[in-house]
């Protein structure tokens, strides 16, 4: 994984720890059926532990997508699967529209490329109002604690 701060490649765990210490997080991009045939609960926990804020994929295993939501993470899919090919290893990405995160309304991904170009495209989500509260609280458990 490329560390955007040092421009060096390193292990995923080490790279994400450095990004976290500098006040940032990571976004993971994956192809189809992310989370399939893995231990979905463990996989969601592992992703959370290495400070991944969002996973953007062409598609998700349904159980894994739900587990990510419960952990307060963004599980997003490409509206146009071909947009996956626009992402470059050294991009700096932002997910836009989180202040107005609403069921049925796409979020936008802005990818700033090292050549100073950029791509902006929509991302689909399947979050309900309750699941958006989980995301904003940081997890399902945080949401439950806040309402006790």
For 59-101, what is each residue's pLDDT tens digit? 998 888 998 999 999 999 999 999 999 999 889 999 999 999 9
Report the distance separating Cα 104 and Cα 110, nearest Å.
19
Whether 89 is covered by a domain: the verdict is yes
- CATH number, residue 22: 3.20.19.10
Report the distance separating Cα 96 and Cα 75, nearest Å.
14
pTM: 0.79
What integer pLDDT is reported at residue 131 of this predicted model?
A: 97
Whether 4 is covered by a domain: the verdict is no
Over range 125-129, report the average pLDDT. 97
Structure tokens, 65: 């997508």
The number of distinct structural domains making up the chain is 1
- 52 pLDDT higher than 80: no
Q: Are 131 and 69 in contact (CB under 8 A)?
A: yes
Whether 113 is covered by a domain: the verdict is yes
For 7-33, what is each residue's pLDDT tens digit? 665 555 455 444 444 456 778 888 888
């Amino acid at each position: 994984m490329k560390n955007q701060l040092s421009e060096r490649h390193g292990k995923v765990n080490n790279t994400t720890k450095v990004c976290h210490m500098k006040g940032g997080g990571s976004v993971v991009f994956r192809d189809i059926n992310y989370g399939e045939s893995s231990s979905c609960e463990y996989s969601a926990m592992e992703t959370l532990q290495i400070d991944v804020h969002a996973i953007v994929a062409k598609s998700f295993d349904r159980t894994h997508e739900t587990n990510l939501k419960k952990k307060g993470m963004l599980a997003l899919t490409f509206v146009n699967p071909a947009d996956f090919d626009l992402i470059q290893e050294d991009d700096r990405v932002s997910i836009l529209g989180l202040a107005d995160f609403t069921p049925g309304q796409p979020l936008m991904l802005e990818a700033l490329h090292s050549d100073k170009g950029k791509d902006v495209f929509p991302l689909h989500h399947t979050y309900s109002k309750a699941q958006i509260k989980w995301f904003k609280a940081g997890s399902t458990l945080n949401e439950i604690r806040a309402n006790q």
